């Protein structure tokens, strides 16, 4: 377990996963073992969304790639490459065509292994900087590699009527629950405030949209995304790709309020 600590804030990271973000004794992250989801955060890369209706295949310029829901990155393990009092860096590196065991097989998938036809390096860093936790994603690899990126954190809820606040209005937990597994799309949005027992803001750079998901009342996932996958049929998921030009950088800022 890696911990970053500054003043009244403690950040806990387990093998690259943000499992704790405690400010003034209040824990903002959903805890493993609590109802709702088995993780606290993960990444969606190089695709976002399900592909079961497309035979677990996604079109790329180098042919169809075998992927499962939200891509193969989450099936790989992070390596800690740097650590200081307020800063930590984790990476995952992938060699084109390498088969990656699929944890969803055989219970939820027909694909035993997943693969991607491009080399890439994925870096996730945590910086306890000023009044916010800054999480930076750096993607490097082959020129013109297609990709999507989504960040999938889960936040703990402690009141019956939390509110998700955007510049265009408010979203209730019931509205998120009603959409179900597709997740509620919040388009053209770079900042969301979650108002619960404590308030905090999720601000982003590079993503552009959010989607919100939960199936329980004790947590909600507020997910920055580069593309909303349910905007197209699964066999057209490649329409949501952007192309890598050298290095792509995305940022998320978790900023506690009152």
pLDDT in tens, 171-205: 999 999 999 999 999 999 999 999 999 999 999 99
Taking the C-alpha atoms of residue 96 and residue 76, their distance in angstroms, rounded to an integer, is 14
Predicted TM-score (pTM) above 0.85:
yes
Q: List the chain domain ranges.
A: 24-75+145-256
Percentage with pLDDT > 70 across the chain: 100
Residue 97 has pLDDT above 90, yes or no: yes
Taking the C-alpha atoms of residue 236 and residue 155, their distance in angstroms, rounded to an integer, is 31
Ordered strands of the 247-256 beta sheet: 79-83, 87-94, 120-129, 132-141, 247-256, 199-205, 191-195, 163-166, 169-172
Q: What is the pLDDT of residue 258?
A: 62
Q: What CATH number matches the domain at 24-75+145-256, 3.40.50.620, 2.70.98.10, 3.20.20.70, 1.10.1040.10? A: 2.70.98.10
**What is the arithmetic mean of pLDDT over 50-62?**
97
Residue 110 has pLDDT above 90, yes or no: yes
Q: What is the pLDDT of residue 131?
A: 84
User: What pLDDT band is residue 129 in, cutting at 50, 70 and 90?
Assistant: confident
**What is the arithmetic mean of pLDDT over 94-112?**
97
As a whole number, the mean pLDDT across the chain is 96
Q: What is the pLDDT of residue 4?
A: 97
């Amino acid at each position: 377990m890696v911990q970053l600590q500054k003043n009244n804030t403690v950040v806990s990271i387990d093998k690259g996963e943000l499992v704790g973000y405690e400010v003034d004794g209040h824990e903002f992250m959903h805890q493993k073992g609590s109802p709702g989801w088995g993780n606290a955060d993960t990444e969606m890369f190089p695709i976002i969304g399900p592909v079961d209706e497309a035979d677990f295949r996604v079109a790329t310029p180098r042919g169809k790639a075998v992927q499962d829901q939200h891509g193969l990155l989450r099936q790989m393990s992070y390596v800690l490459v740097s650590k200081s009092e307020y800063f930590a860096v984790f990476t995952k590196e992938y060699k084109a065509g390498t088969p990656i065991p699929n944890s969803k097989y055989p219970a939820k998938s027909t694909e035993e292994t997943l693969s991607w036809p491009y080399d890439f390096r994925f870096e996730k860093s945590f910086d306890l900087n000023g009044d916010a936790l800054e999480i930076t994603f750096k993607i490097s690899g082959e020129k013109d590699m297609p990709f999507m990126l989504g960040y999938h954190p889960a936040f703990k809820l402690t009141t019956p009527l939390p509110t998700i606040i955007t510049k265009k209005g408010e979203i209730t937990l019931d509205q998120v629950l009603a959409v179900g597994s597709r997740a509620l799309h919040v388009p053209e949005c770079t900042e969301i405030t979650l108002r619960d027992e404590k308030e905090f803001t999720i601000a982003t750079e590079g993503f552009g949209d959010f989607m919100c998901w939960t199936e329980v009342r004790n947590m909600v996932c507020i997910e920055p995304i580069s593309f909303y996958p349910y905007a197209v049929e699964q066999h057209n998921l490649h329409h949501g790709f952007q192309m890598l030009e050298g290095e792509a950088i995305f940022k998320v800022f978790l900023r506690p309020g009152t």
